Amino acid sequence: MKAKALWNLLPIAAIAIVGWLYGSSLWQQSQVGRSGDDRPVPAPGLLPRAQSELATVINVHDGDTITVKLGWQKVKVRLCGIDAPELSQPLGVQSRDHLQSLLASAGNQVILYISDTDRYGRKVAELYVPAYNPQQPEEEKLLNESQLLAGMAYVYAKYASRCPNGSGFAKMEAIAQRKKLGVWSDPTAMKPWDYRKMQR
């Protein structure tokens, strides 16, 4: 009799196990690419909604580094795949101010797509200004590209390939270079590859 009762419970147990495995699988998929580890990063395209983080900007350090409030934490964020002049270098202050104005126009609200953590412990991310119409995510502006397009940063070729949309960064830089905008307006200005050599 007991064996028959246990046999009748078998389908319920099987359904519970399958449900648990399915839920666990969904949770793991939602975590892909979040923590900057070696898990796979999705292919370039529209901002992946499940892997994005809404944050409030607290400080703009320079043209490629900010601090945000993410939940209860303050997190330092490096813009993925670009390199802006240091504040002490030509156009460094202008680069910071340009990024600051882009962020201010969005009420200092940004969407981060974190793809890595660098050796200084900063989160490496693509930075988006939220769309005014959530039904049209293509209206989101990628600020990494905006900095390049205005000539306020260079492509950091060594790391751009690690950014989900890094394949388009060189095209943005080429437009600014052709128009002689920002860092490309002064042929005597030190380029990042020059000062990187000096720091070795």
For position 98, which CATH number holds? 2.40.50.90
**How high is the pLDDT of residue 25?**
47
In a domain, 27, yes or no: no
In a domain, 58, yes or no: yes
In a domain, 90, yes or no: yes
In a domain, 154, yes or no: yes
The residue segments making up the domain with residue 161 are: 49-186
In a domain, 1, yes or no: no
**How high is the pLDDT of residue 186?**
75
In a domain, 19, yes or no: no
Q: What is the number of structural domains in the chain? A: 1
CA geometry: angle at 58 spanning 75 and 74, to 5°? Answer: 25
In a domain, 33, yes or no: no
pTM: 0.69
**How high is the pLDDT of residue 31?**
42
Burial of 27-42, coded b for 16+ CB within 10 Å and e otherwise, reads eeeeeebeebeeeebe
In a domain, 137, yes or no: yes
Q: What is the mean pLDDT of each run of 10 residues along the chain (200 residues)?
A: 58 56 46 38 41 88 95 94 92 95 92 90 91 65 95 92 91 95 79 52
**How high is the pLDDT of residue 53?**
84
**How high is the pLDDT of residue 137?**
56
